[in-house]
Structure 1
Amino acid sequence: METLEFEIKINAAPEKIWTVLWDDLSYRQWTSAFSKGSFYLGTWDEGSIIKFFDPNNNGMYSRVVKNDPNKEMIFLHLGEIYDGVETPQDWGDATESYILEETEEETILKVAIKSSPEFKDFFEEKFPAALQNVKNLAENQL
């Protein structure tokens, strides 16, 4: 596992960024950087299972390990979904963390992903665009 780290400074309050990250409509907008038509099913409650899909009903499922509103969200990735069928994977501690740090001038969104090498290039290509989407939505939505 390799930890990939991304961050972006956003001129918005943590509450606004949190809403952009996890509300259904804006989630679909910012995650379009990974796959147009991305969506999720489930809740963000700690301990719950959340399923992330592309428009072809493929994706992954994860457990919400931590949900500290407006501060931190952590998922543990458990397996893949193909044609709606869940297949567990032995990914160990494959986590994805979102941390919001408020400063006097802005909020810093930090993302850390523990990933296997096969996904590294994908994340390094797509995550900067996804975070730019989050920034644009948080700074420009009414």
Structure 2
Amino acid sequence: MHKLHFSIVINKQKEHVWNTMLDIDTYRLWAEVFAPGSNYVGDWSQGSKILFRASDETSGMVSRIKENRPYQYLSIEHIGIVQDGKEDTSSKAAKEWAGALENYTFKEIDGTTEVLVDIDIEDEYKEMFQEMWPKALQKLKELAEK
């Protein structure tokens, strides 16, 4: 598994950027870069289970919120996959993702916010996510700065 790092500076305060990133209506817009119709079911509370799904709702990730420090830091731990509309935490494919983290850090500097993204990624998806993440962060920036 590889660790990838991305960042972007957004010309808004961190509370606004945090809310833009996590609110379901705006989440769908910036996360669409990864899969059309991207959405989630669940909430961002620490310890909560959350499902990240594509529009067909038959594929995605089963995750839990490992840590949530509002407006500062969010850690998501992947525990499995959604396959054929069912949660799977025991197959070989699901176990490959188990324990992978997505960490988001929000640093406010003079009214702007730097968003730092650190993710664990399987080898076969490394190139794809290296292309997608900068596009997703640019979309988040556009939405937040509207």
Relative to the length of structure 2, the TM-score reads 0.92
Aligned counterpart, 1:70: 71
By how many angstroms is 1:93 displaced? Answer: 3.0
Number of residues of Structure 1 aligned to a counterpart in Structure 2: 140
Which 4+ runs in 1 deviate beyond 3 A? none
Q: Gapped runs of 5+ residues in structure 2?
A: none
In the aligned structure 2, how far is the partner of 1:52 from the partner of 1:137?
20
Relative to the length of structure 1, the TM-score reads 0.94
Give, as a single letter, the amino acid of the residue that structure 2 aligns with 1:38. S
1:5, 1:112 within 8 Å by CA — same for their partners in 2? yes
Determine helix, strand or coil for the equivalent of 1:33.
coil
Identity %: 38
Q: Deviations over 1:68-106 (max 9, x none)?
A: 111111111011101211111223531001110111252
1:66, 1:75 within 8 Å by CA — same for their partners in 2? yes
Q: Gapped runs of 5+ residues in structure 1?
A: none
Aligned counterpart, 1:3: 3
1:56, 1:83 within 8 Å by CA — same for their partners in 2? no
2:51, 2:61 within 8 Å by CA — same for their partners in 1? yes
| RMSD of aligned Cα (Å) | 1.1
